[in-house]
Each structure stands twice: as C-alpha cells, then as structure tokens.
C-alpha cells in the first residue's frame, strides 16, 4: 500500500531527458533501493524539491534553494541490478535552476527531497475531468495514470499559450482532428494512460482557440453526462480562479493543485501561504505542507 507520509532526501540518476516543446523539457530520474520504494509511493499531486546545483562543487550562479517540481509520473522498470523506480518531471526553463536541469545528461546525479505535499483525493468510481494549463500538466499526467489503474472514466484538457510549447509531445491525432472539442489521443504523456484530451491554445495555433475554462464550458454543453464529474486542475492562478468560479456556478466538485513561491518545501519557513475558508473563518495554510492540493471552493482567491 502507498504511504503518503514517508519521504526522504535521495540521490537519483538521470535516465533520460527530451524536449516537451519549445523551452519545456521532460526528465526521468531513476532511483534504486529505499529511495525507489519511498518515491515509488508518491501519489498524484505530490512534488519533489530538487537541488538544482552540482553536488560536489558549488558554482556561482547555481541556486542555493531547492526548486519544487510536481511529479509527472512514477513507474517501476527492470534495471541491471534489480528494479529501478523512474520519476518523471516536466519543466519549463525559466531561470537558473531550470537551466541547470536542462544541462543535465543521462547518468548525471540529482539530489531530491520527496515526495512532499498532500496529493489529490481520488474517486473510487464516477468520472473525472483533468485540466492542466501552462506548466500545470505534470500532476495531471500522473493523476491520469492512477485513474486508469482504478478504472475511473476520465477526459483531459491541456491548455497552453501556443502550440510550440507542447510540440515535442503532440500526437498527429491532435493536429488531424476536425472537431476541436472532441477529445483525442493528443499528448504523448496522456496516451500511456489512454486519456483522451482536448487541446486549447490562447493564440488558436492548435485545437480550441481560447481559454481552457471556456472550452470546458462548451464541452459540457455538448456532453451533459460529464456534468457530474469531479474537476482536477493545475495551472496559473488566473485559470484556477476562473475554474473555481465555474465549478461553483455548476455545482461541480473541484480540486486544485496550487503553486507558490517556496523555500523550505516542508512547512517551516511559511513563505508559501494561501488563505483558505474554514467554516466562517479564514485561515492561512501552507501550500507545501497543507497542499498543494486544495478544495477550490475553500480557497480565497487573489489573496
């Protein structure tokens, strides 16, 4: 059985790295022994804190603080000396930490702490709609894997500014589709869990041209049988806020995986607070330790 509370600091080896799209990468880190079994117990929504610097020498410019990344998938594969746990990350290159990751090659070592955070509450049955916007796809890929294992009916929405950001993972089905609101096997990382997906782009360069929440609205008009699904989402605050409003209006349950500026990642420094409603009161919660997944109806948006 998976143990959500177990975590540790572990060194893994880069097993592979490829382009997900322009300025976006997919990296696999391999772990053995205890590291493999603890990280193999991660649940969708959890993240790792990665030390984005060389382990033996400290170079000027490499970040001192670890960087948080959602777990995009976990699987066990046979290795030369026993089983290896492969942990996938998908990241956008934005600064020194992610540039350091981009320079890693197969066989290089990476130090991570994890798995951290709470993870999504998973339905035993029913339906699930997964929405990933911007660099919010990674936890959705992992969630789709887990929902497949549980036999939950699901469909995904992947929203991006422009198609080049996802072109490394885009399948021909997405480009050939005549109906932009018809979910297809559009993204490599969703294909492994047989999750059909609607692509949305802000500039209309692929799929539905417009916001992911607008696409969801039109999809539900066409497919009212999905109206009782649970919404799971990760993406920029603006998207999550709009989705929370949409879910409240439609009476749909919605869980959001939030991002915040983090330092420690383990509930000590209080740099990642979000305001959450508890009954009639409002309380500060830490995204790293109390989240990153919250009930969208309880988040005080814009705080």
Ligand X SMILES: Cc1cc2nc3c(=O)[nH]c(=O)nc-3n(C[C@H](O)[C@H](O)[C@H](O)COP(=O)(O)OP(=O)(O)OC[C@H]3O[C@@H](n4cnc5c(N)ncnc54)[C@H](O)[C@@H]3O)c2cc1C
Binding site for ligand FES (CB under 6 A): 262-265, 267-272, 286, 288
| Nearest distance from C-beta of residue 234 to ligand FES, angstroms | 17
Nearer to ligand FES, 1 or 5 (CB): 5
| Contact with ligand X (CB under 6 A) among 185, 214, 260, 289 | 260
| Nearest distance from C-beta of residue 258 to ligand FES, angstroms | 11
Nearer to ligand FES, 14 or 65 (CB): 65
| Nearest distance from C-beta of residue 175 to ligand X, angstroms | 24
**Binding of ligand X at residue 146 (CB under 6 A)?**
no
From the list ligand X, ligand FES, none, pick the one residue 67 interacts with, judged by a Cβ distance below 5 to 8 Å according to partner type: ligand X
**Binding of ligand X at residue 135 (CB under 6 A)?**
yes
| Contact with ligand X (CB under 6 A) among 96, 172, 204, 227 | 96
Roughly what angle, to the nearest 10 degrees, separates helices 237-250 and 212-222?
30
| Contact with ligand X (CB under 6 A) among 81, 124, 251, 261 | 261
Nearer to ligand X, 63 or 217 (CB): 63
Please state, in angstroms and as integers, the Cα–Cα distance from residue 109 to each residue in 75, 85, 89, 90, 153, following that order.
19, 15, 15, 17, 38
| Contact with ligand X (CB under 6 A) among 87, 199, 259, 285 | 259
Q: Binding segment for ligand X among 86-94, 141-149, 211-219, 220-228 (CB under 6 A)?
A: 86-94
How far is it, in rounded angstroms, from Cα 189 to Cα 174?
13
| Nearest distance from C-beta of residue 63 to ligand FES, angstroms | 14
> For ligand X, which residue has the nearest CB?
95
| Contact with ligand X (CB under 6 A) among 292, 293, 296, 299 | 292
Nearer to ligand X, 64 or 281 (CB): 64
Q: Binding segment for ligand X among 166-174, 202-210, 259-267, 278-286 (CB under 6 A)?
A: 259-267
SS3 track for the chain:
CCCCCCCEEEEEEEEEEEEEECCEEEEEEEECHHHHHHHCCCCCCCEEEEECCCCCCCCCCCCCCCEEEECCEEEEEEECCEEEEEEEEEEECCCHHHHHHHCCCCCCEEEEEEEECCCCCCCCCCEEEEEEECCCHHHHHHHHHHHHHHCCEEEEEEEECCHHHHCCCECHHHHHCCCCCCCECCEHHHHCCCCCEEEEECCCCCCEECCHHHHHHHHHHHCHHHCCCEEEEECCHHHHHHHHHHHHHHCCCEEEECCCCCCCCCCCCCCCEEEEEECCEEEEEECCCCCCEEEHHHECCCC
Q: Print the binding letters for residues 44-83 with ligand X: x by CB under 6 A, - otherwise.
A: ---x---------------x---xxxx-------------
Structure tokens at 194: 């047989």
Nearest to 24 by CA among 166, 150, 184: 166
| Nearest distance from C-beta of residue 256 to ligand X, angstroms | 12
Binding site for ligand X (CB under 6 A): 47, 63, 67-70, 90-92, 94-98, 135, 138, 259-262, 292
């Amino acid at each position: 059985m998976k143990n959500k509370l177990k975590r540790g600091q572990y060194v893994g080896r880069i097993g592979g790295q490829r382009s997900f799209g322009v300025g976006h990468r997919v990296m696999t880190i391999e772990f053995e022994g205890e590291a493999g079994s603890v990280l193999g117990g991660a649940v969708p929504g959890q993240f790792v804190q990665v030390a984005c610097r060389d382990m033996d020498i400290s170079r000027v410019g490499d970040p001192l603080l670890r960087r948080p990344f959602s777990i995009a998938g976990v699987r066990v594969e046979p290795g030369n000396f026993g089983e290896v746990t492969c942990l996938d990350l998908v990241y956008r290159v934005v600064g020194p930490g992610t540039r350091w990751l981009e320079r890693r090659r197969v066989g290089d070592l990476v130090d991570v702490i994890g798995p951290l955070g709470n993870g999504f509450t998973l339905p035993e049955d029913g339906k699930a709609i997964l929405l990933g916007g911007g660099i919010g796809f990674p936890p959705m890929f992992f969630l789709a894997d887990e929902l497949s294992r549980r036999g939950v009916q699901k469909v995904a929405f992947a929203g991006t500014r422009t198609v080049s950001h996802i072109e490394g993972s885009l399948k021909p089905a997405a480009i050939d589709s005549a109906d932009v609101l018809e979910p297809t096997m559009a993204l490599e990382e969703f294909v492994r869990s047989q999750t059909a997906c609607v692509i949305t782009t802000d500039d209309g360069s692929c799929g539905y041209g417009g916001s992911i929440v607008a696409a969801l609205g039109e999809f539900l008009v066409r497919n009212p049988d999905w109206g009782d699904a649970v919404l799971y989402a990760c993406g920029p605050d603006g998207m999550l806020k709009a989705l929370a409003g949409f879910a409240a209006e439609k009476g749909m349950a919605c869980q959001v995986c939030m991002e915040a500026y983090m330092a420690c990642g383990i509930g000590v420094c209080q740099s990642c607070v979000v305001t959450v409603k508890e009954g009639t009161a409002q309380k500060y919660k830490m995204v790293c330790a109390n989240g990153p997944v919250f009930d969208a109806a309880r988040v005080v948006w814009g705080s």
